[in-house]
Amino acid sequence: ATVSSNGKRTLYFLWTNTTYPPGQPAVIVDPSKASTLVEKLTAGSYQFNLKVWDAAGNQASENFQVAVLQDSVQSAPKINAIGDMEVQLPSSTILLDGIENYRLNPAGRDLFFLWTLISSPANSNAVLSNATSEKAGIDIVTPGRYTFSLKLTNEIGLSSIDTFNIVALSDPLSGTEKIYDSVAWFVVQDDDWGPYAYLFINDPILTQNRNAGNTSIEIWDDDKKQWLPPTGFDYYFDNGLYLFTYENLQLLQGKKARVRLKFL
């Protein structure tokens, strides 16, 4: 404010800590700048002095009182209990949300999060993501019980812990399959990506939440008279199944495919 109220005049500054609690002087990070941080404050009363002068020798000074209050947080943080829950596979992406803990604790305080997967079913390879954030995520593909904990720590090092379970129910389609006959191939001339061929299976309900981990794709080979994995093809699920390739386009033009989905 002093700089802006003095126009283009060059000003020089000096901040000093003139009084402070016994043996506890403050550390002024940038004492010669117009704006500075002050560190190493403890509970008690401080007086700071600002001296300002210009090249002509004009000067002014002012004292500022600062009262530093004792920290009022002396106990572990309150933690929002996350109740046990169930999820139905194949819907497998789960958000673990601890944002409510900020509302339960004093405003402006630091909270540190640590989510931990304590136990999971055998053969499960579930891994937490963003485990030190207020929001963590996990992808579950194996049915069974998963036990988690959230450790919440405040800036004075005190912690609270909540433990909860997620039960993943088995995919009701697991072990079944569906065959789609006479699925048309389309060849597209694309200026950006080059020509490619694709087929689309329009089955948004059955293909919802499907991926390579829970669904196997096979294409019927008329020459070999057998089902084969889609070697040389790429695919993704989006309100159905898209299967596409950049190879053998002339052979696919106008052809129809037979596709089998096996639900794992």
For residue 228, count other CB atoms closer than 10 A to its CB. 10
pLDDT, residue 192, reads 83
pLDDT, residue 257, reads 96
pLDDT, residue 178, reads 97
Residues in the chain, pLDDT under 50: none
pLDDT, residue 73, reads 86
Q: What is the pLDDT of residues 70-122, one digit of tens each?
A: 888 889 999 999 999 999 999 888 999 999 999 999 988 899 999 999 999 99
pLDDT, residue 193, reads 81
pLDDT, residue 112, reads 98
Q: Which two tokens stand for residue 217?
A: 């794709």
pLDDT, residue 146, reads 97
Q: Which two tokens stand for residue 43?
A: 């509970």
pLDDT, residue 92, reads 84
Identity of residue 240: G
pLDDT, residue 194, reads 85
